[in-house]
Structure 1
Amino acid sequence: MNTLTSPADLIQRQLDAYNAHDLDALLATYAEDANLFEHPATLLASGHSQLRARFALRFQEPNLHAHLLNRVLIDRFVVDHERVTRTFPDGTGTIDLVATYEVVDGKIINAWFLASPKTLDSQT
């Protein structure tokens, strides 16, 4: 484990980069061969190239923002509960998200995401 960066600090850097829409800073928190999964085991992206494409598409949403509601640390795992503002095809809204990150040697090697159904903003 990288003693200079705790898993919690790394995940906070990842969240800050996500909210800044800073693709390079975000990818710097992930191992080159990192995997993203829809919980429990549906592979969404593997490796920096696929992660870059996935996050670049997401960063096109101008209102994209993840608000941290709670964080739990268990050894090399960091579990975040977030409320994420998004632009969906049918309008803006939010999802609640549980993100579980596995950190090894100062990088995220695996991440699992479990999302609630979206809640659209009122259209009044």
Structure 2
Amino acid sequence: MIPTAPLPTLTPEQVVDGQLRAYNAKDIDSFMDYWALDARIYQHPDTLLASGADEIRARHVVRFREPNVHGRLLHRVAVGATVVDHEVVTRTFADGPGTVEVIGIYEVLAGRISRAWFASGAPVLA
């Protein structure tokens, strides 16, 4: 599903919250509604992981197949168009299930996430 109209009535914080709720619901269509068509995702600071809605969708379709995937928000701060989340993400890693601390930095323009950078700690296996 391709994102349709911008979400200008939502604040950047609400946009990021919406995509986190969709992530936790494993609802790929709703998740993609919060991303711009030309959005880019980086491993902080500048390693490109996905460019454009098609690559972002493909990356998350695979992630949503993990039975335990879930992001638990610890703290969020928003300044202008930038939202920073500190989360603990539960995942299934190559060595088994566990958690990882993640900082997500989101740039929200015209009601959609245009760029995101993620910094992750070391996975902690269950």
The two structures share one fold, judged by TM-score above 0.5: yes
Aligned counterpart, 2:18: 13
Equivalent position to 1:28, from 26, 33, 40: 33
1:87 aligns with 2:110: no
Structure 1 segments unaligned to the other structure (5+ residues): none
Please report how far the alpha carbon of residue 89 of structure 1 lies from its aligned counterpart in structure 2 after TM superposition: 1.2
Aligned counterpart, 1:98: 103
User: Which one-letter code corresponds to 1:80 in the other structure?
Assistant: D
* Identical aligned residues as a percent: 46
User: Which one-letter code corresponds to 2:30 in the other structure?
Assistant: A
Q: Distance in 2 between matches of 1:50 and 1:3?
A: 24
1:71 aligns with 2:76: yes
Count matched residues: 121
Equivalent position to 1:55, from 46, 54, 60: 60
Q: 1:19-38, CA deviations, whole angstroms, 9 ceiling, x for partnerless residues?
A: 00000101110000000000
User: Which one-letter code corresponds to 1:93 in the other structure?
Assistant: G
Kindly report the root-mean-square deviation, in angstroms, between the aligned alpha carbons of the 2 structures: 1.1
Q: 1:9-54, CA deviations, whole angstroms, 9 ceiling, x for partnerless residues?
A: 1111000000000001011100000000000000000111101110
User: Which one-letter code corresponds to 1:35 in the other structure?
Assistant: R
Extract structure 1 runs of 4+ deviating beyond 2 A: none
Aligned counterpart, 1:113: 118
Please report how far the alpha carbon of residue 3 of structure 1 lies from its aligned counterpart in structure 2 after TM superposition: 4.5
User: Which one-letter code corresponds to 2:74 in the other structure?
Assistant: L
Q: TM-score, normalised by structure 2?
A: 0.94
Q: TM-score, normalised by structure 1?
A: 0.95
